[in-house]
Structure 1
Amino acid sequence: MNKLKNLLLYDASNYIHIVILVVLYYISRTTYIGWVLLVPEVVFLFKKSKNILVYALIIIALINIRIIVNERNSSRIDFPINGKVQEVYDDHFILRSNINYLCYYDHIEELKPGMIIEITGTYIDTDTYNIIHTFDYDLFLKSKNISQVVNVIESTTIKNTFSFYIIKYKINDYINNNFEQQTASFLKLFVLGDNELDDHLYQSTTKLGITHLFAVSGMHIAIIIGFLRNSLKRFNITKESSSYIIIIFLVFLNIITGFKVSIIRASCLVFGITINRRMNLILTRTDILAFIFIIFLLINPYSIYSLGFQLSFLISISIIMGDYLFKDDNQIKSLLKITLLATAISSPITLEVNNEIGLIFLLSNLFFILFVSYIFLPSSYFVIFIPKFSDVYAFIINIFIKATEVFLKINQVVEFNFPTIIHKLLFYFCIYMLIATYKNTKKMILYVILLIAICLGSLYLNYPTNRFVRFLDVFQGDAIHIHDNKCDMLIDTGDYDNYDNLIHYLKGNNTYEIDILLITHFHSDHYGELEDLINNLNIKKIYLNSDYQGITNYQVIDEGYCFECGTSKFQVLSANTSDENENNNSIVLYGLIGGNKYLFTGDIEAEVEREIVDKYNLSIDVLKVAHHGSNTSSIENFINETSGEIAIISVGKNNSYDLPNKNVLKLLETYDYQAFRTDESGSITIYYCEILDLSIIELYQKQKRNRYILWNV
């Protein structure tokens, strides 16, 4: 024990470098920039602290082993499946077996935590669009330690056993039975950590930048612990006894909140500080936080991808490292500084999700943090024990809602995001340097100017090059983004999408205006997101192949119509042939982009392909293969006459149509096309680098490093 203690003391205050190295390793798994930053950190540790480097490498190796084991164990097994019910929600529950299952069930009222059950059902695919700035559902599930999603058809109870989750379940049931719906939703929020607020109120808090108040976190725990310590002190309870009481309370709080990341992190920090003081380890709070961080990742290596995990650790470590900025200030001034620091540190993460920020976040946070700390949170615990005061609590809720409405009226929301990891890293560098040079006015001004330049660069240098064509992975559908200098054009939108991935992709790149939106034809996999795009973005021009009742201010275009987007030029070769088969009514578009000739074919079939070959002498470079590679299209004469180099097939992974057709792939190979498929390569982008006079093909897949292929060199 003494040897371990001495070893810990030897490297005290340096353990944060393990966290830095591990984080850089995670970044390097998906981007080459991670390697650029990882190598200098390794060299630095090799020279300054070999022990820390060895520890970090061992931990990275263990994390890799955990990832491999998790991947092997997460494969699907045959039904029936036996397991123990953990948490139960309104329409789904978590089943613990050899792995964790997220189970949707129509008769959820039959289940309680602790039940051992046998289920039969069907697996639900959790594939995610391989598009940057979009929600990764598969990774989200892994971060929650869930390996498979199941639609339960039948459930049979084998026996009942005890589970800590039953305590939360009983409290939840008690709240539902004793309070009105709105009151119950706020009590669950502040006591159980479950957000069941209506969407309108939640969106309002997002615009005001106060959603962090709706997650039971370190701030809430600090308030509760402060209240407990003051109360115990008044009863002359010793510090040692108070520490034990607080630890017992934190254990109970973890149980009733379902062991949420932010609660566990804050609780472990309190435990760590207590142990550190008792054993005289003289470890810093950043050291303790580093140990907690590592333990989390060793338990679940995917927890680092959880939004709550990222915000919880990032904000905590920033406040700990920057505590000298506000330790001598009064409460209001200190609160303002902490809010500003926390907002700045968290903004690259929250902007990636929300794509907007309210400009009065300082004022709104000052009011609502004080309101929650001194009124809302204490009254939540009070009223849950004494329901007779629920009317008073309802009045407090009403004040809260009215206050959000008042702040919303004076709030100005700015849509913004840091579009690339380079923008994000430069932003964090500036924030770090601002903290480090807090008392040096000249240097602070310099870094503020640099910070403004980074924000402006995020708006105006939001894409890697001035011109590109991107075939977006929208599963079994088409969506093509053409960017030429200041012009943005979309060809089709993909199918209906509850996650609004196309909108998040565009807003994530600070693109809020589409110059041209062209719908090739009216099949849902090509125009499904049309109305959502119109409602969320400024669309200047809409080109359709025929009239559509759902919208106004559009133009029906016919064969021969020409238009431009930036310096790129387009001509319609076919449109609305009055065929009963809507595929053959697709707008076929010939484009000259970056010196290359493109043919965008929609879903045309053999008949239209023959007509195009007969009418036009086509010689192209890039072919968007018609109808997702179906054998109803891509006839040999058409493929031969177009004589291109690159063929793009937009197709869904494991689709029920078994596309692309094998004969079509063989035909493309016969005529020397290099075929790229969205189901295998994700989103496919052809960049035009004018300075270097070359074209680069980028293949983007989530959780993989991008692949690049030089073309036309």
Structure 2
Amino acid sequence: MQGNWIYLALSGLSGVLLALSLQWCILLLFILLILRIYFLQHLRFLLLASIVFLFFYFIGVSLELQRITVYSEDDSRFIVTMIELPQIDGDRLKGVVKTKEQEKLVLHYTIASKTEKEYLLRQLFPGNKLLIIGKLQRPEKNRNEHQFNYQQYLYYNHIHWILKAEELILYEENPGKSFYEHFLIMRAKGLKHIEEKYPPEAIPYVKALIFGDRSSMDEETEQIYRHLGIVHLLAISGLHVGMIISVLYYLLLRVGITRETCYLLLMLFLPFYAIISGGNPPVLRASVMSMLLLSALRWKWPLTPFDAISISFLLFLLVDPYVCFHIGFQLSYAVSAALVCSEKIIARSQVFWIKMLVISLVSTFASIPILAYHFYEFSLVAVIANLFFVPLYTFFILPLAFVTFFMSFTYQTPFNMLTNLFEAVIGISKWLSNPFASHWLTYITGRPHSVILFLFVAALIFLFRSWEKKGFSYRYILPLLLVLLLQAVINLYSPFGEVVFIDVGQGDAILIKLPYRRGTYLIDTGGEFTFSQESWQEREKRFRVGKDILLPILKSKGIRTIDTLLITHSHLDHMGAAHELVAQLNVREILLSPQSWRQPVMQELLQAASEKNVSIREVKDGHGWENKAGRFRIVYPYGSGEGANNDSLVLYAEMGAKKWLFTGDLEKEGEEMLMQRYHFQVDVLKVGHHGSKTSTTEVFLQMLQPTYAVISAGKNNRYGHPNSEVVSLLEAEGVVVYRTDLEGAIHYKYFGNKGTFYKIQP
């Protein structure tokens, strides 16, 4: 079996994926696996691999059949147990709880007062029992293509409901706790101890590096580390586990403990550390692998590191087959497997920095397919960044985090001195990372097709095998570059055009992507309204339309450049997220209605545009452009305005063999002025002002005679948009109505003169 466990691991993975997500590439994987075993003439092993495949296939099928819930939307009273330390951000409490029927729920609660917040911060720990009065809500399906699928994420974590709590009462503060819960409480107390002892600058790093908790890390730092490709350093991973084991092993030997006893003690320590550090898949993977290798050393088992990876992989699938959909799990195993496969390549390098460079290259290449699929981009400087930051974290930041943590329980003076040193080193890491903070250091791939992913993995295998047998040569990287080039060509020269009415909630954001990338335009960006709150209510990590909706959607389509950003008028629900896009993407020009830039809400956008040297132009009726893929003309307004609804830029377009009218928030008065100058008919009308009764008059519709109408409005919005009379009028005129509040994002995809509408939520 030595060296062959990988075939069983791949057989188990094929069986699970075939049961949970039937795709042609999974069948192809298993067929290639069977052929590989057959040509190795391991016929008995072929039978074993087939049995493992069928075993895990039936585990996956049975798991799907068992995915039921014992609750319904009528249930309103619950006694639950906290199974993790809840996150309290501003006036929002969020955590995972378990009911007496052992079903997990996501708990959401809005804290009523500052006093209650302080009480909950003090009293809530894993293992506490709570009495909850509230409502169950189904996690919603995605409302936009390629947006983070929260419903699917919860499903893979065996969660069917979100519990919206109206009342939250600490039902039993100190119930009998399990062995596991005691460790969770230790972890929670450790996190609170860090918050009490450390200076604010150090808290996020110590919590992340010791306990695997990144909830306190500010978004700007995470974004910089993501652009550099070193965000893994802010999470506990195999690097941390390996370093801790090495230090403990050395210390145990120094105090006179035998090697065999050291192995046993470390095997006992690892499960404890995995729980304390958050139990994330990378930590569990490293812990299980280390336990297997320590067992092999202790009892002389014929086990290679690659066998340990494969066995731990099978154990994970056996415990929870859905873990294979966890991004951290995928990255951890992909990088670990690549490093083990490249062991001979790494061993050839005698110089430390060359060895580090090889490790960084292998890790970066192995992670690219997963990063491209889930995040639609990867860092262009990850290899170099890891070369500097991995030693910095390994030899300075990580050891200082542990030393200061243990010192925090003893003498204050040495703790303060070491904490000052820790802050200085963190300051150095920030100083080193700031020059590389630009988003231009990431390559936007778009979401690759499964064929592209398959080709990329094949190119990786070719690279590593050739490198191992014949030494490094630049020509071995060519297949990888060709696959990336193919993905870029698909993005840039796709013959398909697309118009997407993005669901940004209560607001407008319309993407126009012309065939062969002859033009990429965005009409409005949506935005979120903010209301004045007390300081204790303000959230550090807020939902943002730009970060959470627009950027992922645009990047998933391989869009780095927006040729024209058209802001219809200066209301937050139409331009509130514009400054985020300008900061993160290449925007060539911004079109504004006359005088709208004078409004205070525009200042953040103007500042971002100025910093990026983006052209800003005031336009009105008569401004237009055309190319081989379409004609575009601004048909309203006619003079200066103030950026109000009736000053909205109105765009008339001809593309995809259809005529379109995008009206912003134009109301009745503006419609009348438009009709006085123009008399045209359109195929598709973007209904003005989210379907408000102040827009879309009968005479306006009779002039336009649209076949389709799209209403962009937020689900259950406070304004009652769209107005029922407007919807009835559209239907009475025989217009097919699409609504983002009911159906999510609305897409029109076309090829040549043929196209079709489709909805994200049918």
Q: TM-score range by the shorter chain?
A: 0.7 to 0.9
Residues 156-215 of structure 1: per-residue CA shift (max 9 Å, x gap): 333412322111122233334444344444432322222334555444433443222221
TM-superposition CA deviations, 1:563-614 (whole Å, max 9, x none): 3366421233443799999544433322111332112233445565566567
Does 2:485 align with 1:472? no
What is the CA-CA distance between 1:108 and the residue it aligns to?
2.2
User: CA 1:635–1:65 in 2, change beyond 3 Å: closer, same or farther?
Assistant: farther
Q: Which runs of 5+ in 2 are unaligned?
A: 39-45, 112-116, 529-542, 607-614
TM-score by length of 1: 0.83
The one-character-per-residue Cα deviations of 1:486-528 (angstroms, maximum 9, x if unpaired) are 4221111123261522133334444333222222334433222
Secondary structure class of the residue paired with 1:416: strand
**One-letter identity of the residue aligned with 2:81:** K
Question: C-alpha displacement at 1:467, in angstroms?
Answer: 3.3
CA distance in 2, matches of 1:56, 1:677: 45
Residues 1:416 and 2:443 are matched in the alignment: yes
Partner in structure 2 of residue 4 of structure 1 = none
Contact 2:134 2:163 in 1 (8 A): no
Name 2:631's counterpart in structure 1: 569
Partner of 1:226: 246
2:559 matches 1:511 = yes
One-letter code aligned to 1:38: I
Report the more deviating stretch, 72-81 or 279-288: 279-288
Distance 2:618 2:138 in 1: 38
**Structure 2 CA distance for partners of 1:367 and 1:582, relative to 1, 3 Å:** closer
Instruction: Flag structure 1 segments of 5+ consecutive residues without an equivalent.
Output: 1-7, 702-706, 708-713
Structure 2 CA distance for partners of 1:291 and 1:504, relative to 1, 3 Å = same
Query: Relative to 1, partners in 2 of residues 1:326 and 1:175: Cα closer, same or farther, differing over 3 Å?
Result: same
Q: Say which is worse superposed, 626-635 or 577-586, in terms of deviation.
A: 577-586
Mapped to 2, the partners of 1:407 and 1:522 lie a distance apart of 35
**CA shift in 2, pair 1:482/1:268, >3 Å:** same
Q: In the alignment, which residue of structure 2 is the partner of 1:597?
A: 659
CA contact (8 A) 1:128 1:135 kept: no
- How far apart in 2 are the matches of 1:602 and 1:302? 44
* Contact 1:609 1:638 survives alignment (8 Å): yes
Query: In the alignment, which residue of structure 2 is the partner of 1:704?
Result: none
**Which residue identity is paired with 2:511?**
H
Alpha-carbon distance in 1 for matches of 2:454, 2:743: 27
Matched with 1:117 is 130
Residue of structure 1 equivalent to 2:745: 683
Partner of 1:711: none
Q: Compute the displacement of 1:419 (Å).
A: 0.8
The residue number in structure 2 matching 1:525 is 573
How big is each residue's C-alpha offset from its partner over 1:115-136, in whole Å with a ceiling of 9 and x where there is no partner?
Answer: 2121335678865764445444
Q: Distance in 1 between matches of 2:30 and 2:447?
A: 24
Of 548, 568, 571, which aligns to 2:597?
548
1:435 paired with 2:464, answer yes
> How many Å separate the matches in 1 of 2:69 and 2:744?
23
CA contact (8 A) 1:24 1:37 kept: no
Q: 1:378 aligns with which of 361, 375, 399?
A: 399
The one-character-per-residue Cα deviations of 1:137-172 (angstroms, maximum 9, x if unpaired) are: 444555666542545643233341232211112223
What do residues 1-31 of structure 1 show as CA deviations (whole Å, max 9, x unaligned)?
xxxxxxx8997441232355258549x95xx
Aligned partners of 2:6, 2:120: CA distance in 1, in Å? 49
Find the residue that maps to 1:118 and give its secondary structure: strand
**1:710 is matched with which residue?**
none
Tell whether the 8 Å contact from 1:434 to 1:444 is kept in structure 2 after alignment: no
User: Is 1:41 aligned to residue 29 of structure 2?
Assistant: yes
Structure 1 segment 185-264 matched on structure 2, within 5 A: 185-195=204-214, 196-264=216-284
In structure 1, distance between residues paired with 2:643 and 2:592? 16
Shift of 1:402: 1.5
How big is each residue's C-alpha offset from its partner over 1:349-391, in whole Å with a ceiling of 9 and x where there is no partner? 44654946252x4344234333333343334333333344321
Q: CA deviation at 1:342?
A: 1.0
Kept after mapping to 2: 8 A contact 1:167/1:255? no
CA contact (8 A) 2:11 2:49 kept: yes
How much does 1:246 deviate? 0.5
Q: Which amino acid aligns with 2:445?
A: F
Matches of 1:129 and 1:528 in 2, distance apart? 22
Answer yes or no: is 1:449 the counterpart of 2:478: yes
Question: For each residue in 1:294-353, what CA deviation from the matched residue of structure 2 results, as whole angstroms up to 9, or x when unmatched?
Answer: 554565555444432222222122223332322444354433222211122223444654
Structure 2 letter corresponding to 1:81: F
Aligned counterpart, 1:316: 336
**Alpha-carbon offset, residue 414 of structure 1:** 1.8
Q: After the TM superposition, which of the residue ranges 576-585 and 426-435 deviates more from structure 2?
A: 576-585
- Amino acid aligned to 2:24: V
The count of residues paired between Structure 1 and Structure 2 equals: 687
Aligned residue identity for 2:591: Y
Residue type at the aligned position of 2:441: V
Q: Which amino acid aligns with 2:169?
A: S
For residues 656 and 201 of structure 1, the distance between their equivalents in structure 2, rounded to whole angstroms, comes to: 35
Distance 1:667 1:210 in 2: 55
Q: What is the aligned partner in structure 1 of residue 612 from structure 2?
A: none
Secondary structure (helix, strand or coil) at the match of 1:462 reads helix
Q: Please say which of residues 517-526 and 430-439 is displaced more in the overlay.
A: 517-526
CA distance in 2, matches of 1:580, 1:198: 37
Amino acid in the other structure paired with 1:170? K
**SS of residue in 2 equivalent to 1:420:** coil
Match of 1:84?
A: 81
